[in-house]
Amino acid sequence: MHIRAFKPIDAEALLTVFRKNVPQAFAEQEVDEYSVFLQTYTDPYFVAEDMGKVVGACGHYLKENEAHICWILSDPDRKGLGIGSALMRYNLDAIRQLPSVRRIVCRTSQIAYRFFEKFGFQLQYTTPDFWAPGLDLYYMTRSYMETLFSPEAGMARLKQSTAEFATVFTHGTLLVEFYKPDKVDKQQPHDRDEVYVVISGTGTFSCAGETMSFKPGDLLFVPAGTEHRFEQFSDDFTTWVLFYGPVGGEQAVAR
């Protein structure tokens, strides 16, 4: 997959992708709004291509000291390929180059807000039927790039999440999460390489059929697509999780 700047010639292909997301993710009246945006845009907007075909887009615009995420979409026929995540990482990386930005804002819906939570966005408020009947506004924000992350900060962010993990940092392909499973580790194989750095607690870790003990400070590597799980862990177990590289893992690129 290749991400590049939007060109006017991409408009028709993007409108086709947009229409595929109506009415599940976008309201019917937004088709015309998006068409006008593509004809008149002046802000940074990025396009994802897969094998020469346009499969998604994402951008942002500036308002005082805020960067607002705008018009992120991906081809639903290619769900599971990480298109939206790749676009978001690329977009956030571009925003980090802007010294005036202190906060990032996105206006989304109940359909996509979980996606934005993975990138550290926090829900501020909702407005029912904002986009269309049954399609609510979810107004979310995240602070600008931080450089120091403590276990205490990770735990605080986890308490604001409805999941057992919370995103604390993204940069390029790197995604860092704070993870604290509740009694049972239910995770499934991931589509990118990952590294765990144990913060606290002890237990055993199973990966690709092998089981090993772990303790605070240990680093555990898991190749993309590999079955793995924490087992028999103590109640105080917490760990950093670092995802990086392309979908399929680094080895897939080297072949």
Which tens digit of pLDDT belongs to each residue from 4-37? 999 999 999 999 999 999 998 999 999 999 999 9
Please give the Cα distance from 143 to 125 (Å, whole number): 16
Tens-place pLDDT, residues 124-142: 999 999 999 999 999 999 8
Q: What's the pLDDT score for residue 255?
A: 46
CA atoms 149, 155, 156, 157: torsion sign: positive
- Looking at residues 137-158, what average pLDDT do you find? 81
Q: Looking at residue 12, what is its pLDDT? A: 96
Lowest average pLDDT, out of 94-98, 143-147, 174-178, goes to 143-147
pLDDT value, residue 149 = 78
As a whole-number percent, the residues of the chain with pLDDT over 70 amount to 96
Question: What angle, rounded to 10 degrees, do the helices at 11-20 and 30-40 form?
Answer: 160
User: Using one digit for the tens of pLDDT, what is the confidence trace for 49-85?
Assistant: 999 999 999 999 999 889 999 999 999 998 888 999 9
Confidence of residue 251 (pLDDT cuts 50, 70, 90): confident
- Residues 33 and 202: their CA atoms lie apart, in Å, by 53
> What is the arithmetic mean of pLDDT over 148-161?
81
Question: Is the Cβ–Cβ distance between 211 and 205 less than 8 Å?
Answer: yes
pLDDT confidence of residue 146: 61
Asked if 110 and 80 touch (Cβ cutoff 8 Å), the reply is no
Q: pLDDT higher for 127 or 158?
A: 127
The tens digit of pLDDT for each residue in 203-229 reads 999 999 999 999 999 999 999 999 999
Does the structure show a pLDDT above 70 at 252? no
Model confidence, pTM:
0.61
Cis, bond preceding 23 (omega within 30 deg of 0): yes
Tokens representing 44 are 């940074």
Between 224 and 160, the more confident residue is 224
Q: Which residues contact 184 (CB under 8 A, 6 or more apart)?
A: none
How is residue 145 annotated by DSSP? P
pLDDT > 80? residue 144: no
Domains for the chain: give ranges and CATH numbers: 2-143 (3.40.630.30), 151-254 (2.60.120.10)
Amino acid at 195: V
Q: Which tokens belong to 106?
A: 């996105």
Q: What does the mean pLDDT of the chain come to?
A: 91
